[in-house]
Amino acid sequence: MSDVRYSDQHEWVRLDGDVATVGITQFAAEQLGDVVYVELPDAGHQVGKGAEAAVVESVKAASEVYAPIGGEVIEANRALADDPAKVNADPEGEGWFFKVKIADAGEFAALMTRAQYDAFVKEH
């Protein structure tokens, strides 16, 4: 059974065993507007928690995506290269960015639950 947590940078993380799938939240996708380009890390790349891991660009601007959890990138969502609009259409599903093999489960536990994240969005 997988568990989903959220970062204060508006990323979601779904943990299945020691593999975390990372994407941006519906709220973030709405704030960005139409996504036209996504740059993703290569498999094998080590990302530290909080490090710049991807770039997502709307018509207007480019935004960095910071890794909400550290580990080794094992897969990037190559479908986004041809169809970046998936990020708007299904940000918390088919619009996932990359998967990492996590190093520290404590980093996951420290992220927000859905209820905490929803409250966080309301405040900001």
Binding site for other proteins (CB under 8 A): 33-34, 36-37, 39, 55, 57-62, 81
8 versus 57: smaller Cβ distance to other proteins: 57
Residues ≥6 apart with Cβ < 8 Å to 114: 4, 6
CB of 32 to other proteins, least distance (A): 10
Indicate the Cα dihedral angle 23, 50, 32, 76, nearest 10°: -40
Q: How far is CA 107 from CA 19, 37, 62, 83, in A?
A: 13, 28, 27, 31
d(CA 71, CA 90): 25
CB of 23 to other proteins, least distance (A): 19
C-beta of residue 67 within 8 angstroms of C-beta of residue 50 = yes
CB of 83 to other proteins, least distance (A): 11
5 versus 95: smaller Cβ distance to other proteins: 95
60 versus 101: smaller Cβ distance to other proteins: 60
61 versus 115: smaller Cβ distance to other proteins: 61
